[in-house]
Chains A and B, each alone.
Chain A
Amino acid sequence: ETGVTQSPTHLIKTRGQQVTLRCSSQSGHNTVSWYQQALGQGPQFIFQYYREEENGRGNFPPRFSGLQFPNYSSELNVNALELDDSALYLCASSPAPGQGNTGELFFGEGSRLTVL
């Protein structure tokens, strides 16, 4: 069973640039969520995707956007980067609703973004 994989693991950008982070969900999982974890803080929910559509969003501005593909992999895009966007971005997958899902998420190791 392949777990959640994310790329890149580390990257550095400058203010105003755009970034795309990628995630492959765990085998058999069709729901993907993205979280932002600032240094010393708990993860904050950005949004989640199910059946290629966004079906839940946290308190993040529209410059945070995403996609989910037919193979359930996902991208997180952030435009007009700000210094405060520096964080670890975590992708998590889970089985479809109604398949005995108790809400447990399976996380990747994250992409650490530094904005200078």
Chain B
Amino acid sequence: GNSVTQMEGPVTLSEEAFLTINCTYTATGYPSLFWYVQYPGEGLQLLLKATKADDKGSNKGFEATYRKETTSFHLEKGSVQVSDSAVYFCSRRSGAGSYQLTFGKGTKLSVIP
């Protein structure tokens, strides 16, 4: 079945540090891939997406590249800020005609000044 595996947290970084959160997915077809972010007490917000192999999604300094060879979609940011503290979820679309997303368990990021 469809699944998404992301690195477990929590992750604690100092401000301006480099961030990587690993994510891999099961290779059933070529699903659209997403990173969502959840700030404390809020719902999920789309951070970035990629719809086909080798696409790079980017937003707010975050990037992730759709790697078909390694079935991965790792999230990176060169210099994190305190305001980036949140829970990050990797997800994949279940099928071409489906709106169902399968999510990873989430990675909590805390950035300290």
Contacts and interface: CB of A to CB of B under 8 A. Distances in A.
Interface of A: 4, 31, 33, 40-45, 48, 56, 58, 90, 92, 94, 97, 101-110
Interface residues of B, number: 27
Interface of B: 4, 31-32, 34, 36, 41-46, 49, 51, 89, 91, 93-94, 97-106
19 contacts: A4-B43, A40-B105, A42-B4, A42-B89, A42-B104, A43-B44, A43-B101, A45-B101, A45-B102, A58-B100, A97-B97, A103-B99, A103-B101, A104-B34, A104-B49, A105-B99, A107-B44, A109-B41, A109-B42
Contacts of A90: 43-44
Given A41-B105, A42-B103, A56 B98 contact: yes
Contacts of B103: 42-44
